A and B are shown apart, each in its own frame.
Chain A
Amino acid sequence: DAGVTQSPTHLIKTRGQQVTLRCSPKSGHDTVSWYQQALGQGPQFIFQYYEEEERQRGNFPDRFSGHQFPNYSSELNVNALLLGDSALYLCASSYGVASYEQYFGPGTRLTVT
């Protein structure tokens, strides 16, 4: 049973560019949440997707957007990249929106230069 997978593993982008990160949830899960983790800090909630809709959003600007597909996989898009967007982006999946037990992927390390 595959767990949560994310791609790519690492990514280097230039300021002002756009990036798309991808996530496949654990088998049987229907909810995907995205988190940003800066170096030395705990993960910060970006948003959550369920039934192909954004259900909850954290304190992140509109430059951060997402999508969930019918097969429950998800994408995170970040436009107009800033140096401060450099971080580890984590995807977590669960069954149902209210689950406290979420399964995290290994993350995508984004570096903005």
Chain B
Amino acid sequence: LAKTTQPISMDSYEGQEVNITCSHNNIATNDYITWYQQFPSQGPRFIIQGYKTKVTNEVASLFIPADRKSSTLSLPRVSLSDTAVYYCLVGVRRNTGKLIFGQGTTLQVKP
């Protein structure tokens, strides 16, 4: 499975756009990139998944360059409630649904 590298922590202020980059140099051709969010005292929650270029939903956007060796999760106009840990997952095992989590990025949004 491709190893992922994310910043351990990030700080932001309310109303700002936050970009969290994940490096995955050894991504395989058939690997998808998936992001989960985890609030304190809760289980992780699926945010978004993509394969290439750009994916957008009501929560976030995911930007994936042509070489797919990295990806960027973009959160528009964050609020205090976006304070959470964000996990980048690559290579969710097909036919098993086994999720491999790293340490994630702790995002702290300040007023």
Name A residues whose Cβ lies closer than 8 Å to a Cβ of B: 4, 31, 33, 35, 40-45, 48, 55-56, 58, 90-92, 94, 96-107
Contacts and interface: CB of A to CB of B under 8 A. Distances in A.
A31 B97 CA distance: 10
Nearest to A90: B43
Nearest to A4: B43
Contact of A105 (B43, B96, B101): B43
A55 B95 CA distance: 10
Chain B at the A interface: mostly helix, strand, loop or mixed?
loop
Interface residues of B, number: 24
B97 A33 contact: yes
Given A41-B103, A100-B34, A100-B92, A48 B42 contact: no
Contacts of B95: 97-98
22 contacts: A33-B99, A40-B103, A41-B103, A42-B87, A42-B102, A42-B103, A43-B44, A43-B101, A45-B98, A48-B97, A58-B98, A92-B99, A98-B97, A100-B32, A100-B89, A100-B92, A100-B97, A100-B99, A101-B46, A104-B43, A105-B43, A107-B43
Interface in B73-111: 87, 89, 92-104
Nearest to B44: A104
B3 interface: no
Contacts of B99: 33, 35, 43, 45, 92, 100, 102
Nearest to A9: B41
A106 B85 CA distance: 15
